[in-house]
Amino acid sequence: MRFETLQAASGGLRGPERRVIAVLRAGVAGGTALEALKQDLGEALGAGRAAACLAGFAGMRDIIRRHGWHVPVVLPEDAQGWSEDELSLARFVLAASEQQRDVALAEASFLVSPMGLLPLLEAGMQAGLPLLCEECRARLALQGPMGRA
């Protein structure tokens, strides 16, 4: 039996990492949680980026099903912490999106067999790039029209 540790509910994660975990949890919950997430992503990213992001997550899910070492532990939406698998996936998506290929491949090696490494990297980039756009937009909104905080 595997034991998952929970991290403290506050701190340490960037916006895109928190969003990755929210998408994972909504995907597992399905139903209204998934519909609410799709609507929220559409409003935050625009329809095209939201669709690309969700397609990336669907690709990751399929690759992990085929090539994964185990089924990732994804906690319920209202959980107060994160599982190690959720944190690993969040780190992976962020590294893949930020073109930190070596870091992303190292994370991916704990998620999937070698056959799934490069396809997972591509899907992770597709899922994460729109989330980085959301983070950049939020940062620019805080700076104001003249680029000052």
Residues 112-136 pLDDT 10s = 999 999 999 999 999 999 998 877 7
The model's pLDDT over 76-85, given as tens digits with 9 standing for 90+, comes to 988 989 999 9
Contact 130, 52 (CB under 8 A): yes
Q: Extract the tokens encoding 6.
A: 């929970």
In a domain, 86, yes or no: yes
Residue 3 lies in a domain: no
Q: Let me know if residue 9 belongs to a domain.
A: no
- Name which of 67, 69, 59, 107 is nearest 87 in CA terms: 107
* Domain presence at residue 2: no
* Contacts (Cβ under 8 Å, ≥6 apart) of 96: 104, 121, 124, 125, 128
pLDDT of residue 95: 96
Q: With a threshold of 0.95, does the pTM exceed it?
A: no
- Confirm whether 5 is domain-assigned: no
66 falls within a domain: yes
For 13-41, what is the mean pLDDT?
A: 92
Domain for residue 148, yes or no?
no
pLDDT recorded at residue 140: 63
Cα–Cα distance, 131 to 137 (Å, whole number): 10
Query: What's the structural domain count of the chain?
Result: 1
For 89, the domain range is 15-143
